[in-house]
Amino acid sequence: MEKFEANDYSFFKEVVKKASIKDVIAHELGANAVVKKGKDFVCLCPFHNDHEPSMQINVARNNFKCWVDGHHGDPIDFVEQYEHVSKFEALKKVCQICGIPLPADMANKSEFVSRLDANYKEELNALLELKKFYQLALQSNEGQFAREYLEKRKIPSEAISHFGIGFAPEDPSLAIKALRKNGFEIPTLEKAGILSNSSDLKDRFSYRLMYPIEDDFGHLVGFSGRKLRDDQTGGKYINYPSTQLFNKSEILYHYSQAKSVAKKYGYIYVVEGFNDAIAFQRAGIESCVASMGTALTEQNARSLKRLGVEVRLCLDRDDAGQKAIEDCLPVLLKEGVPFRVVRPFKGGKDADEVLANFYPEGNEELNKEANFMYDAFLFLLARALKANGNTKKLSDPLKIQSFIKKASPYYQILDDISKEKDLLALVKVTDMPGDILRNQLNNQKVELPKQEEKTPEKTFAKKTSNRTGYTWTKKGFNKEPEVKNLVNDQGRPKFHYLANNITAFVQGALYSVAGSMMNRDLVINESQIIYVLPHSREAYKRFQEAKFDISFHPFYVLSLLIDQIYRSDSTKIAFADSDYDKILSFVKEYTSKHEEVIHNEDNKELAFDEDMPFDADDISQESLSDLPFDDDIEMADKDVDTEFYAIEINPDDIDFLLSAVEIMRGCSDHVYSQTSFGRELDLHPLLLSYSRREGYCKRNNLSIKNDMEILQIKKQLKMKNFKIS
């Protein structure tokens, strides 16, 4: 590429003037991350573990600044710092986001060349050519057995193409001859790790299925080969040797493709092998990486930390895989990475096996299984019980002390609600007083990750307020009330200082477990509708007349409860505080009542199997005999409690529901607008149809972009002045 020249910097100034700092940050972090505050905007700073919106977005000056860590600059600076790219690459990204044409004479210029590109250009090119060779070989006559193997594993052509899977012919000299014919010298092939022996010019792989491996930034740096016949020598997989390009301990398979998706959805799964990562991709879960061994390294943890998202550990259900998860916990803890553990799969030992065992419904089953998650404390408690003989009790004082010592670091990083929930689980399995266990857990000396310094007092002044919580003041900022949300000490939103409640409500829904798996536009639409219902009986009537089909489970739950309260009092115009208290009481009973309903109606096993030999949610010490509603409330539907408690809701989404009700309570009843509410009701059927069709296409590996039904729905939405995000 042509060298970038200094006189081209005039175009940088032009882009900075035309680009919108708000649009750039909203594109990079998500539209709901940017919140109106006074005349400007704020957001959680992505450059540190921010629990309060400390980054100011100044629209007039077209710049940003974090008042905690000091990051600042214009739109190009933000992309450069956030994506860790060169200034020129950031310029091109900003032009793309803001629709600014890039001059033709600049398109082929490059300001920055990475160390690998500069020092190992030929080696990188040789590896790319080898990948092409393997891909062509897969389509050859000799590659038929490999194709049949992939077909037997139900791996579609789209996945083969996405992961660049190929085939190494049985004759190991063919690959080297092809590379030599393309002009690559022997020293280059040696440095790239391609030659197994420079004296006989042979490829190190023979008759194997080939998986290309990229580094964090998308450079192809090596391969791994899986044997196709049982009688082949060597292990099941032959990994690439260490070279200047390939360092196994630094690499996560599929990281370069998954990182942008992970930032969009706020999570990333870590699985054990190549085929598990492919299985997740096939099931529509694109935010997934595989470790290059059974355990994560410190370099892996740092790569994951850069994403700023929740890590979901999902290794094999066998003892080796579960032990590997246990080994991963301190590595992630040390680096301050937020994480949870996926419950061992019931439908197979790993993701690939779940897809195979439940074919053709394996995609849905894998999505369902992947969303049963627990914090590290509960995971370790299950491990301790299993080591104790799969009993549901841990009575030996020495074993209890040993568990507390191991698990206390993971207890101490939890938010208060999760601490209480996990403490009740420990009380249940040990039959010991909660106060004693709590003291033991809190008094263990552990080295927790260092947290960033809190906002300096000279920057923000904390004052008491006549409203709940605090108000934060800063020169140029208007005072705003505290609004509850879902970020905890592990980096997920719990408290934001936002300009209005609807923003917090929508953002909480998008951060929830259920919301993260749904179409974003549909979640926002249903959030804006449900949010209004307690504040207006007229809105509730219109909602009823629309015969609404709510797909977001937490809001379906709310709609049932809202419906019961309105039906119990025909004169009620809007909810009072006591009505919100009744809903909160009902939701708080979900954990214990859900298990009771499932047991009574279906007579099925509880959620935990032999790999999780206790029911961590069945921990309520209260009586389950009475409904939480007052005696003077006549329930219009006698079995609403059964209907409500039979709904499957992720435990973390119960916390979201509690926060959501409090947010609705804090809003003015004037939130209802006939026009805007009617528009959301009108849009919902189309957004629901789009979401369902999108899910169908993903499950069946169909092109969403070219699907005729999708295109037709988009056309109808466009006629209503709505564009899919």
**Mean pLDDT across 478-487:** 33
Q: Kind and range of the H or E element at 197?
A: strand 195-197
pLDDT at 555: 86
Distance in angstroms between the alpha carbons of the first and the last residue of the chain: 34
Q: Report whether pLDDT(311) > 70.
A: yes
Same-domain pairing of 148 and 239: yes
Whichever domain contains 129, its CATH number is 3.90.980.10
Q: Report whether pLDDT(488) > 50.
A: no
Q: Report whether pLDDT(349) > 60.
A: yes
| Domain-located, residue 718 | no
Whichever domain contains 33, its CATH number is 3.90.580.10
Among 342, 648, 349, CA closest to 514 = 648
Confidence of residue 160 (pLDDT cuts 50, 70, 90): very high
| Domain-located, residue 527 | yes
DSSP 8-state secondary structure symbol assigned to residue 646 = T
Same-domain pairing of 20 and 82: yes
pLDDT digits (tens, 9 = 90+) for 604-627: 333 344 445 454 444 433 332 332
498 vs 136: which has the higher pLDDT: 136
Same-domain pairing of 242 and 262: no
Q: What percent of the chain has pLDDT over 70?
A: 79
Q: Kind and range of the H or E element at 508?
A: helix 501-511
DSSP string of 280-303?
HHHTT---EEEESSSS--HHHHHH
Same-domain pairing of 581 and 662: yes
| Domain-located, residue 258 | yes
pLDDT at 67: 83
Same-domain pairing of 92 and 233: no
CB contact burial 486-525 (16+ within 10 A = b; e otherwise) = bbbbbbbbbbbbbbbbbbbbbbbbbbbbbbbbbbbbbbbb
Of 374, 408, 431, at which residue does a domain stop? Answer: 374
Q: Can you tell me whether residue 493 is helix, strand or coil?
A: strand
Confidence of residue 392 (pLDDT cuts 50, 70, 90): confident
Contact between 137 and 166 (Cβ < 8 Å): yes
pLDDT at 473: 29
**Mean pLDDT across 300-318:** 90
Domain that includes residue 684, residue range: 501-589+624-699
| Domain-located, residue 65 | yes
Q: Report whether pLDDT(634) > 50.
A: no
Same-domain pairing of 145 and 209: yes
669 vs 137: which has the higher pLDDT: 137
60 vs 512: which has the higher pLDDT: 60
pLDDT digits (tens, 9 = 90+) for 563-603: 888 888 888 888 888 888 888 888 887 766 655 655 554 44
Whichever domain contains 299, its CATH number is 3.40.1360.10
Of 69, 86, 114, at which residue does a domain stop? Answer: 114
Same-domain pairing of 74 and 122: no
Of 189, 211, 246, at which residue does a domain stop? Answer: 246
Q: Report whether pLDDT(644) > 70.
A: no
Same-domain pairing of 357 and 261: yes
Distance CA 548, CA 526 (A): 10
Structural domains in the chain (count)? 4
| Domain-located, residue 464 | no
Contacts of 427 (CB under 8 A, 6+ apart): 433, 434, 437, 619
Same-domain pairing of 682 and 542: yes
| Domain-located, residue 384 | no
Same-domain pairing of 277 and 311: yes
Q: Report whether pLDDT(204) > 60.
A: yes
Same-domain pairing of 110 and 128: no
Distance CA 388, CA 701 (A): 44
Distance CA 546, CA 681 (A): 7
pLDDT at 475: 29
Contacts of 603 (CB under 8 A, 6+ apart): none
| Domain-located, residue 52 | yes
| Domain-located, residue 420 | no
Amino acid at 717: L
Place of tokens 């536009």: 521
pLDDT digits (tens, 9 = 90+) for 406-459: 999 999 999 888 899 999 999 999 999 999 999 999 888 765 554 443 333 333
Predicted TM-score (pTM) of the model is 0.55
Choice among 127-136, 479-488, 693-702, 709-718 with the minimum mean pLDDT: 479-488
Same-domain pairing of 528 and 654: yes
Average model confidence (pLDDT) across the chain:
79
